Structure 1
Amino acid sequence: MSTRELTLTDNDSSNKGTSTVLKLTEASLDITAGTSNTSTRRQSSGSRLPFLGSKASTTVTQVPLRNVVAATTSSDVIEVSYLARKSPRHGLSLIRVKGSLGDKDSRLAKQWCEAAMTAAYGGRSPSKKLKVLINPRGGRGQACSIFTDKVEPILSAAGCILDVTYTTHPNHAMEIAQDLSLDTDTVVVVSGDGLIHEVLNGLSKHGQPDKAFCVPIAPIPAGSGNGLSLNLLGLQDGLDPRAAALNVLKGHPLKVDLFAFTQGNQKRLSFMSQTVGLMADIDIETEHLRWMGDLRFVLGFLRSVVTLPTCKMELSIKLAEQDKMKMANAVRARRAGLSSDIPVVPLSPPLDDTHDPGSPGDTWIKYDKPCLWVYAGKGPYVSRSLMQFPVSQPDDGVIDIAIQEIISRKDLLASMDGADKGRCYWYNTNRYFKASAYSVKPHAQSRGVLVVDGELFPMQEFHVEVLPCLGTLLSPFPYYAPEFTFDEESGTKLKQES
């Protein structure tokens, strides 16, 4: 695309006569403000905004094309909307630049806007038909204001058609997803991870489930943990509703594995995790502290260190891999665009398949010792403070399983250091597996709870089977955003328990 440039004049009374130059390049929209006052220019990468307190009379702001939301024209006025940060520590802000072409040909304005939108969206239509689900009671109870103040202005600027529903009762989102119109471009979920669980289970009951599961889901973080948003967007953007709104507009479909959860006659879909033991207790026992956000999990962990509850069960795992270094190298190879050595299950088993651990060729292992917890799931982060599954991949056809053996209170407290970067992965007392299926049978005297995607289930025998690539999300990347780093020479410099 050749460089295209426009000069706008601000006719606002306070800035009358000030010119703004808009220049499209291969990678960015360059905005030069204040050109009528001086020819001095200061380069900016989008972190310094001339209209947010800059003292220089002329500033060049380079906005990545991905951050351009809209470029529209009415009469001879052009308005450009984009997202940028005041500083690296701030979240994204929606910025608008507006000006007139004066007596120039209005066709020039239309042509420039069309070129800008083509460049910003890669030729795709920015206007999408969105089904928006908002849980007013999720997390800190701020989902409504998050949507109206931060998300809706971005989606509306892009010309999206919004069908908004505020959920009013448990399973409301499931009921809506069950009847989802298949011409919906994306389901936008403004809540925590629990509402996504409802949506996916609603899609499984849809009249055309195969087509319904192809409709992408995009989370807007408004819950306590917001694990899915963190996994798609990373730590910097994963808790930023505006960054999540930009993902709704610019993200690409990412196929992800789901899980068939069976307990007695009940069958459900799970997308994130199943937890038994101390970690499950934390989730349920801090439910009344949702107003604290993800700090509730840290407080709950500290409380549990005092009581140190253990769980007893028989765990059967259909093993795919257990070599930690091999699994870590596979993630690094995926991010580098190389092939992975981790086996992938090619076909998705039907939801009504019966469990048969004696099938020919299966490699089943058993774990039958008391432990602190069993955590199984998909996606590196379960909350900002815990990277539980650092080597998880969205579509490798397996579920990651971590079993924390019993350790002292001192070591348990020490494990908090670096938990947000996956440090515990390397501990010898953290048994880690990739599996295509697993079963849990609690001992009769076992106490505690079972939590599936943040929802409470009876502490009874259950079975989980991987459903490869059944779900569809929107993501900026073809892999999970968080990067798991480790020392390449020794694998880790962390202390290993004996």
Structure 2
Amino acid sequence: MEGGGHTILWPLEGSFKLYKQRGEPCRIRIDENGLTVTSDGSEGRTEVIKASDMVGCVCMKAPPEEIKSHSAYFTIFSYPLNMKKKRKRLALCFQVDHNDSFEENYGIACKWKAAVYHAVRKYGITEPQIDHSKKLLILINPNSGPGKARQVFRRQVAGVLGEGEVKYEVLVTERANHAHEIVRSLDLTTYSGIVILSGDGLLYEVYNGLLQRSDWEEAIQFPVGIIPGGSGNGLARSIAHWLSEPYHANPVLVSTLNIVYGHLSPMDLVLFETADRKRILSFLSVGFGIISDIDIESERLRIIGESRFAVWAVARVANLRKYHARISFKRVTPSHSTTTSRVKPVLERSQTVQEERRESHEHILKSRSVELQGDEVCESFLEQSCSVNMVDAQELPVRNSLIRNEAGQQSEESQSNGTDRSGFTIPPLDQPVPDDWETMEDNFVMVYTCYHSHISTDVFLAPDARPDDGCMWMISLGSTTPKSTIARLLLGIDGSHLNLPGVEIIQVSALRIEPLCAKGCLTVDGEVVPWAPMQCEVLAKRGRIMTR
């Protein structure tokens, strides 16, 4: 977001007509509470749009054919909650015609633009924030999920970023591990953050590319953002749940607004050590058994999106598998569990200030606001006098600016030869677990550990999990778990599954998995890893995720 180079007058008040409004002008004021719009009609209604619901402002001039071609205009974009608790786009276009000179009117419009961004930055977003003066690198996987990520960007994401004047550069990945290769040699100082428009798999590539760098301890703290575009969107769903945002109504919009605001929330990461002494960085989950089997085996149905999980669950329950394994873990008791540094917000909508009744934006500003649909932009009636960075994802090649020097790349490759244990505090895999760990051995139907509330849009695995609670949430189903319980769990992982007999959830800070049978499917963040011993521990609050 940019506020322009104009002096900020604060608070700011004035009287302006809404575009094509008849009658008297509205009185508007912007301050720490947001934007207050008071109509001068007989009822004199007042509407307050919170600073945290506004995203940006654009200044424009009238085309020559307009009667008042000396007029300037400023449009304020916001996404308040409507009566149904859904985010609805609201664009209010105000006409400035106080003076006979366009330049003077335009100067007034620019002062309002500066005030809008001041309100959003200082009162709508808490610190820390991304560096808004730099551009974002947006990575798009065109083959993720149903294969519509590129269209999602053009139709749903680019317009919102444009309204917030967010600078960005788009790169469309061309092959598996392309993102991994890019971030290993990326000049991070060029960007304010990396945004993923894909499923969770592309973020897995990004984090493990950052892990391969010589400066990995700093690199893994680089700001990241996620916009759902795949068949598994666990992180995006979990963030929305934590923020109490109405995700299901419009998942892409809710997630894109996180990117526009760019508040940086701490997020736990998990560092793995494999049997061949390689390291893996994880942000979502690890597990084996029926959930992992469903996730991987249903890949052939990815074209139907997240519905593939439910379809394949039926087949797996009918043909149940069990896996002999030994699980060791360090339990986290509630008294030692770290708490989130940010209170979960209460979701409130911008309200109409009126003693007798409370009404929606649509009622008060009906036929006075500019309601743009889809890809429509204000140019349909006004000529913009500012430029918004819009980039076609199809036209962007891999730029040279993404690549660091060769020497740096060689040093990063040398540390990934399987001998590096930096970052670990737990003993190596070939040594016994510490005395304060617990161990269980069984023919497991499932052992699945997640670090967030959701592992996909509709799989609410750990209801009490938070992004920075300092622990992993391990759920296990032992050999004696009835098929009826397993079926009920898979068909309704909505929080109530924790009350089913035989279902146990444990908070842990470190975990060791030792397979004791020949075959199995072990996954980290939904990606298959070798069916062999591995262990991990939490890197508390080492990641930074973009949120509201």
TM bracket (short chain): 0.7 to 0.9
Structure 1: segments with no counterpart, 5+ residues: 43-59, 338-347, 477-498
Match of 2:136 in 1: 130
Deviation at 1:315, TM superposition (A): 1.3
Is residue 233–residue 456 contact of structure 2 (8 Å, CA) maintained in 1? yes
Structure 2: segments with no counterpart, 5+ residues: 1-8, 62-71, 124-128, 346-421
**Residues 84 and 126 of structure 1: is their aligned pair in 2 closer, same or farther, counting only changes over 3 Å?**
farther
Give the RMSD, CA atoms, in angstroms: 3.2
Q: Percent identity?
A: 26
**Residues 111 and 335 of structure 1: is their aligned pair in 2 closer, same or farther, counting only changes over 3 Å?**
closer
Question: Do residues 176 (structure 1) and 186 (structure 2) align?
Answer: no
Question: Do residues 436 (structure 1) and 548 (structure 2) align?
Answer: no
Provide the rounded CA distance (Å) in 2 between the counterparts of 1:158 and 1:228. Answer: 23
Residues 312-371 of structure 1: CA deviation (Å, up to 9, x unaligned) = 1111223333xxxx489987998589xxxxxxxxxx9349973465466x4121111112
Match of 1:475 in 2: 547
Which deviates the most, 177-186 or 426-435?
Answer: 426-435
Question: Do residues 451 (structure 1) and 519 (structure 2) align?
Answer: no
Provide the rounded CA distance (Å) in 2 between the counterparts of 1:437 and 1:332. Answer: 19
TM-score (norm 1): 0.78
**Residues 22 and 240 of structure 1: is their aligned pair in 2 closer, same or farther, counting only changes over 3 Å?**
farther
Equivalent residues in 2 for 1:371-390 (5 A)? 371-390=444-463
Alignment partner of 2:327 out of 302, 312, 315: 315
Question: Do residues 222 (structure 1) and 225 (structure 2) align?
Answer: no
Equivalent residues in 2 for 1:224-243 (5 A)? 224-234=231-241, 236-237=246-247, 240-243=251-254
Provide the rounded CA distance (Å) in 2 between the counterparts of 1:233 and 1:215. Answer: 21
Q: Give, as a single letter, the amino acid of the residue that structure 2 aligns with 1:8.
A: F
Equivalent residues in 2 for 1:288-307 (5 A)? 288-307=300-319
Equivalent residues in 2 for 1:52-91 (5 A)? 61-74=47-60, 76-84=72-80, 88=84, 90=86
Deviation at 1:273, TM superposition (A): 0.7
TM-score (norm 2): 0.72
Q: Give, as a single letter, the amino acid of the residue that structure 1 aligns with 2:157.
A: V
Is residue 485–residue 501 contact of structure 2 (8 Å, CA) maintained in 1? no
Equivalent residues in 2 for 1:176-255 (5 A)? 176-183=182-189, 184-234=191-241, 236-237=246-247, 240-255=251-266
Deviation at 1:88, TM superposition (A): 2.3
Residues 29-55 of structure 1: CA deviation (Å, up to 9, x unaligned) = 23457x6xx43356xxxxxxxxxxxxx
**May I ask how many residue pairs the two structures share in their alignment?**
436
Question: Do residues 256 (structure 1) and 267 (structure 2) align?
Answer: yes
Q: Going by fraction, where is strand more abundant, 1 or 2?
A: 1
Is residue 17–residue 24 contact of structure 2 (8 Å, CA) maintained in 1? yes
Residues 255-274 of structure 1: CA deviation (Å, up to 9, x unaligned) = 22222222222322111111
Q: Give, as a single letter, the amino acid of the residue that structure 2 aligns with 1:174.
A: H
Q: Give, as a single letter, the amino acid of the residue that structure 2 aligns with 1:259.
A: V
Secondary structure of the corresponding residue to residue 185 of structure 1: strand
Match of 1:287 in 2: 299
Deviation at 1:16, TM superposition (A): 7.0
Match of 1:5 in 2: 13
Is residue 438–residue 465 contact of structure 1 (8 Å, CA) maintained in 2? yes
Match of 2:285 in 1: 273
Residues 185-224 of structure 1: CA deviation (Å, up to 9, x unaligned) = 1111000111110000111122422332232111001112
Match of 1:424 in 2: 497
Is residue 3–residue 25 contact of structure 1 (8 Å, CA) maintained in 2? yes
Match of 2:167 in 1: 161
Provide the rounded CA distance (Å) in 1 between the counterparts of 2:299 and 2:51. Answer: 41
Equivalent residues in 2 for 1:337-376 (5 A)? 349-350=423-424, 354-355=428-429, 358=432, 362-376=435-449
